[in-house]
């Protein structure tokens, strides 16, 4: 059944992972919802020109959807059950556990590797965590590119490595510089090369940059906590610029910004700080 987006309040839409992108006008947001409704209805009634993408793909099971919804609700306060999803090894490829395809900046199509249709784990990846990861990408489909593009999805994982290092994988060359540099330096040193330290330059630059962006989001989270808001749900709904501003403003400056901004007032009131946050 196609969701009736038009009949829902802003708070109800937000709880389903449908929220205005930063700087998106009310009219643009409404137009995006209308376009999304049309695309979802076409998929359901079989008239979509995207059907070739899902041919021979099995719909995701209710069990994995419910498990993923619990994860996204606990961490980010949304359940995006409207996002279409299927099992398809053809679409994910051999190496990927899951992928998200974006159609016209409004419709996300989600695919999990076919192996997950026969079990909950593949190569150390959990089906529900993988689905939740991709759903977090899906709800930010209209957002501008972000240096936190993998940070938010990776916070859903039980693996500490993925939570701490996952954001490196937002660009293919970043893990190459880090892990490749760490591997190449001792090999070159053992070979007696005078340039053994060169691979470490890229590694150090990437690590320094990651420390900087993690410091900013921690400061922004501290600001939100001080204002009585649960940090992660609010941060997910912000642009990089808004995160940087929240990290940089003094308490008095942020209070003034909050007073003048309906967006800030809404986000801070919608996600009050929980005891465990």
Q: How does pLDDT run across 111-133, given as a tens digit for each residue?
A: 999 999 998 888 889 999 999 99
d(CA 212, CA 198): 22
Q: Which two tokens stand for residue 233?
A: 């749900």
Give pLDDT, residue 277: 45
Q: Is the pLDDT score of 1 beyond 60? A: no
Average pLDDT over residues 19-41: 92
Q: How does pLDDT run across 135-147, given as a tens digit for each residue?
A: 999 999 999 999 9
Average pLDDT over residues 236-261: 94
d(CA 175, CA 50): 33
d(CA 67, CA 129): 8
Give pLDDT, residue 275: 67
Average pLDDT over residues 226-241: 97
Q: Calculate ∠ Cα 190-196-197, nearest 5°.
A: 140
What is the pTM for the complete model shown?
0.94
Longest dimension (CA), the chain: 70
Average pLDDT over residues 198-223: 96
Partners of 141 in beta bridges: none
């Amino acid at each position: 059944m196609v969701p009736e987006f038009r009949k829902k309040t802003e708070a109800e839409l937000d709880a389903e992972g449908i929220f205005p992108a930063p700087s998106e006008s009310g009219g643009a947001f409404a137009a995006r919802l209308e376009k999304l409704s049309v695309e979802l209805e076409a998929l359901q009634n079989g008239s979509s020109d995207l059907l070739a993408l899902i041919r021979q793909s099995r719909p995701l099971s209710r069990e994995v959807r419910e498990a993923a919804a619990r994860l996204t609700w606990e961490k980010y306060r949304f359940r995006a059950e409207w996002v279409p999803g299927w099992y398809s090894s053809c679409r994910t490829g051999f190496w990927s556990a899951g992928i998200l395809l974006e159609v016209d900046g409004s419709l996300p199509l989600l695919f999990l590797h076919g192996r997950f249709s026969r079990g909950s784990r593949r190569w150390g990846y959990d089906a529900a965590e993988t689905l939740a990861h991709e759903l977090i990408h899906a709800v930010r489909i209209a957002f501008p590119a972000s240096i936190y593009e993998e940070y938010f999805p990776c916070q859903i994982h039980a693996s500490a490595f993925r939570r701490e290092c996952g954001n490196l994988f937002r660009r293919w060359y970043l893990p190459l510089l880090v892990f490749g540099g760490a591997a190449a330096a001792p090999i070159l040193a053992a070979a007696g090369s005078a340039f053994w330290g060169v691979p470490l330059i890229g590694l150090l630059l990437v690590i320094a940059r990651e420390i900087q962006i993690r410091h900013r989001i921690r400061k922004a989270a501290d600001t939100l906590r001080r204002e009585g808001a649960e940090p992660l749900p609010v941060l997910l709904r912000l642009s990089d610029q808004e995160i940087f501003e929240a990290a940089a403003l003094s308490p008095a400056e942020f209070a003034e910004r909050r007073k003048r901004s309906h967006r800030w007032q809404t986000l801070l009131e919608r996600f009050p700080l929980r005891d465990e946050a």
